[in-house]
Homo-oligomer: A and B are copies of this chain.
Amino acid sequence: MTWRFALLVAPVVADDPRTDFADTLAVIDPDAPALSVGELSTQRGDGIFETIGVVDGHPQEVRAHLERLAHSARLCDLPAPHLGQWRAAVERAAAECPTGESAIKLILSRGVERAATGLEGPTAWVTASPVADHTAARTDGIKVATLDRGLDSGAATRAPWLLLGAKTLSYAVNMAALREAHRRGADDAIFLTSDGYVLEAPTASVILRRGDTFVTPEPTGGILQGTTQLSVFDWLEEQGHSTGYEHVPAAALADADAMWLVSSVRLAAPVTQLDGVELPVDRELTAAMNAYLLSPRD
């Protein structure tokens, strides 16, 4: 599994009327040099991204990912992405994905800073690649450690410059949190506010089951709205369950009847242990949830 595909995207303005974007998408060698050292994505993590799961060549929930890309762009004062162009790039990349699971990543960077001329406008690219086998996480589950995110519940509203609702390229803290979780013998982390509320995992959303109700923290600016979480909630409602968005206190985690971390590539991973304490796992429901997440979704 060493295939990999990459496209450089020459961003067009959001209201460009064209419908054919072929000449704005350039296939490149994913292992060859493609970006200059002046890239602001690499110098300052100054850009946004999305990761889209692909199953048997079908990119999942493209519309929700593109809408979130546009939302992130607004929060970061980046030029609005042309969603038709990004959809064309996703479709071009998906056409290269073989049977089985893959991932497509979209990156929109603030651009290249040149000494003489200042900023030259955004740069963008799309990659497609195989994904690790997540069967064990989906069936046997994962251990999770809770970690303080340092921010209180009001920070996102008070301080929009913290970009808490944007999926930026500045993920060093998310990666450090995963390393800390591993040091604690866990597989993943759940961030808590400094005043004790549940936020999200570094690269996933949290869903709790309480009896027949499924709950996720309110996406009121402090966390990303999870595309997979939205999809799972739709499915749960179709199955007759009720779902809700709540301000979830940390103590509610230990009392949950079941818990999952859901994300676009690993899909639904049941949480078997929280800070060393065993949690109940609903294997049957988890299997059905992942079967749904592996079916084609738009």
Chain B residues whose C-beta falls within 8 Å of the C-beta of A45 in the assembled complex: 41, 44-45, 168-172
Interface residues on A, range: 35 or more
Interface residue A35 (Cβ < 8 Å from any Cβ of B):
yes
Residue pair A159, B147 in contact (C-beta under 8 Å): yes
Residue pair A42, B44 in contact (C-beta under 8 Å): no
CB-contact partner of A150 in B33, B151, B168, under 8 A: B151
Chain B residues whose C-beta falls within 8 Å of the C-beta of A170 in the assembled complex: 44-45, 168-173
A30 to chain B: closest residue by CB: B37
Chain B residues whose C-beta falls within 8 Å of the C-beta of A163 in the assembled complex: 172-173, 176
Q: In the complex, A39→B170 CA distance in Å?
A: 13
Q: In the complex, A31→B120 CA distance in Å?
A: 12
- CB-defined interface of A241-279 with B at 8 Å, one 1/0 digit per residue? 000000000000000000000000000000000000000
CB-contact partner of A179 in B49, B161, B171, under 8 A: B161
Interface residue A105 (Cβ < 8 Å from any Cβ of B):
yes
Chain B residues whose C-beta falls within 8 Å of the C-beta of A140 in the assembled complex: none
Q: In the complex, A100→B30 CA distance in Å?
A: 39
The B-contacting residues of A in range 84-126, CB under 8 angstroms, are 105, 107, 109-110, 114-116, 125
A189 to chain B: closest residue by CB: B161
Which of A6, A49, A115 has the most chain B CB atoms closer than 10 A to its own CB?
A: A115
Chain B residues whose C-beta falls within 8 Å of the C-beta of A160 in the assembled complex: 180
Interface residue A76 (Cβ < 8 Å from any Cβ of B):
yes
Residue pair A107, B42 in contact (C-beta under 8 Å): yes
The B-contacting residues of A in range 7-50, CB under 8 angstroms, are 28, 30-39, 41-47, 49
Interface residue A239 (Cβ < 8 Å from any Cβ of B):
no
CB-contact partner of A125 in B37, B105, B150, B173, under 8 A: B37
Query: Given A1-B115, A170-B170, A31–B42 Cβ distance below 8 Å?
Result: no
